[in-house]
Chain A
Amino acid sequence: MIPAPKTNKPKVAIYKFSSCDGCQLSILNLEDELLDLASAVDIAFFLEATRTVKPGPYDVGIIEGSVTTPHEVERIKEVRSECKFLISLGTCATAGGIQALRNFARPGEYARTVYAHPEFLHYLDTSTPISAHVPVDLEIWGCPINKGTVVEVLAALLQNRRPNFPPSPVCLECKRRSLICVAVAQGISCLGPVVHGGCGALCPANGRGCYGCFGPSSAGNFSALVASMVQHDRYSNETANLLRSFSSAAPAFRAAADAALKTAAVKETR
């Protein structure tokens, strides 16, 4: 935890790397708390919201986005050096995001698909989380994050206590809402048993399976889930695709997707 400054409000900086802006927007979407938040902390750098740039060092740095360009590799080091406590905000920053799908393609393949002149571009062949480059003090998952988590984390930092995160996977959030299991009752592929909670089981509540945007739960039994889910794929490689989407580069998801592809291939040959 950061030592709470005795006199001044903690200076908070919010940065953007490769991302969609949705997690920063989630902070601006704290309509009921935004003005109180702005009075409790000193928002010293937040380009999405203000032209004012107060110089570092900052007490808390919050980073949205992943590292996908040579420039970002350098910039993240500068950001780390000017922030005492660094938070990765959202699945791009914690796992590489949807753009980490390039990690599974041949280098340059996507650039050639999208751009007439790939040689004009400056990018890396991989999208990597912030923690792959610099030490990170706290990770907040979600694509997008649950905005309440930001308030909880900043409140915890101000009160010098540990933030209270949902300890259980989506599957338990679903049970707590008394939702009927979409996997058991309808045979719909759902990653709920192995995905970090925090969304409130949104997808099952809408009659569909969890697609893993909050990343892997630390206690998930991936091998058991993959073995059972692949049998029920409604289209080719459905399970592997679910694992290979928004948190694809998280190690647990990566391994499970490989296992799902292998299991599906065996199923095909039978």
Chain B
Amino acid sequence: MNTIEVPALARVEGEGGLYIGLKDGQVVEIRLDIYEPPRFFEGFLVGRNLQEVPDITARICGICPVAYQMSSAIALEKALDVEVSPQVYALRRLMYCGEYIESHSLHIYLLQAPDLLGQPSALDLAAIAPEVVKNALRMKKVGNELLKAIGGRSVHPVNVCAGGFYRWPDVAPLKALLPDLEWGLEAAKETVRWSLNLPYPELEIDYEFVAIHHPDEYGLMHGDAWSSKGNKTSAADYEMRYFEEHVQRSNALHGHTAQGGTYLVGPLARLNLNHDQLLPAAQAALKDAGLKLPLKNPYKSLIARSIELVHFYEEAIQLIEIYQPDGPAHASLKLKAGEGCGISEAPRGLLYHRYKIDENGLVTFARITPPTAQNLPRIEADLFALAPQIVEMPQEQATLTAEHLVRSYDPCISCATHFLKLKMEEIN
């Protein structure tokens, strides 16, 4: 095998390229190149009013706009020393449930499952297993409907502001979603059972997992960043331990720890670090699955996503059942100069924001560290670990296995800065 070239990697969010260099049948160089054009969000946020920030940062990613809105609102509130009410906090979690449901359903069934079932897309899968795809679309739709009921629309919702929400969503449309969410909960449990028997490639990696841990609930917002190596880092100290560097081939910055190591954020990290805090139905699904944690196979992040789906359907049902708008929908903000950091868990991993604002509420500095930027060095390292297997494979299978690995990360390349090109060549 000399050269493998896939003109563009499909079913990922964004444009990137994969290069694998071989010498005497051994892999000597692997690079994940990001061609996604830079859009300079941190540049044009400077000078904007703080309330414009959640609307602007949403546009970093069409798949996880809620994560961008939440991390930015939390960071701005920190800068102003504002605490949101318990009702606002609960509604934020409910909104996040909607994003997890739509994003995970999309990734499990439309983006990753075709690899495991030998199909080029979910549309092709629909031709042989129409019920699977119809159920997947219905599961995804429930998440989008939940986002719509809270935020007006599922892509770039309009109801989020620093301090909370512009208005309380109406009770009736949320309650009306309960039967679909109950259906979705059962469908998610079935997804877990289905996910256990898929033909995952074998690969075990000794990752440093990093995820938000919250003392009282499955970590999504607030709390500290916990690492499987025992580090506990507050949002304020996040940049002290987790760095980004600019490498020549990439329009995305690459993350690494203060010790220079790689780390992993996302569903595997969350499940491995926080599984004790899953709600009962998800706990039961995890127990029935008989999984040995920590789960260390990146391809099996699909199973972690499936278990999280159970959790987020369950949590959405609980939160809607108790939803009763009370008090102001957003805290009143008293302007002052300040600086604040915010972390929250996007479906694809921890998302960090830091802002400085002046006394008029204008942004003077912005830093955004997306999950995919943090995972990029880890994806490259995983490809290295995979290399001995794939050099033995026929060309098409090697390409698919490498592509599948990248896709299993659910990379959001627009976030991290789209076309993935797999090129393997013999270096002389």
Contact = CB atoms under 8 A, between A and B. Distances in A.
Contacts of A206: 151-152, 158-159, 166-167
Contacts of A116: 245-246
B418 interface: yes
Interface residues of B, number: 73
B256 to A, nearest CB: 14
Given A68-B37, A98-B59, A111-B43, A207 B167 contact: yes
A31 interface: yes
Interface residues of A, number: 65
B241 interface: no
Contacts of A22: 59, 61-63, 65, 155-156
B260 to A, nearest CB: 17
Given A25-B155, A49-B110, A101 B44 contact: yes
Given A20-B59, A98-B39, A207-B166, A48 B155 contact: no
B11 A47 contact: yes
Interface string B78-117: 0000000000000000000000001000100010001000
A43 interface: yes
Given A52-B120, A207-B167, A245-B52, A115 B246 contact: yes
A143 B11 contact: no
Interface stretch (B136-144, B209-217, B307-315, B382-390): B136-144
Interface string A116-132: 11001101000100000
Contacts of A205: 152
A52 B127 CA distance: 15
Given A31-B137, A98-B39, 20 more contacts: A20-B61, A21-B62, A22-B63, A28-B106, A35-B126, A35-B130, A35-B134, A47-B9, A47-B10, A49-B11, A49-B110, A50-B114, A98-B41, A115-B246, A116-B245, A120-B247, A123-B38, A202-B153, A207-B167, A208-B166
Interface of A: 16-26, 28-29, 31-32, 34-35, 38, 43, 47-53, 68-69, 71-72, 97-99, 101-102, 105, 109-111, 113-117, 120-121, 123, 127, 143-144, 199, 202-203, 205-208, 211, 213, 235-236, 238, 241, 245-246
User: Which 5 residue pairs are nearest across A and B when measured between Cβ atoms?
Assistant: A22-B62, A110-B43, A50-B121, A110-B40, A31-B141
7 contacts: A29-B140, A35-B137, A38-B123, A51-B10, A51-B11, A98-B44, A211-B55
Interface of B: 7-11, 13-15, 35, 37-44, 46, 48-49, 52, 55-56, 59-63, 65, 102, 106, 110, 114, 120-124, 126, 130, 133-134, 137-138, 140-141, 144, 151-156, 158-159, 161, 166-167, 245-249, 251, 253, 360-362, 403, 412, 414, 418-419
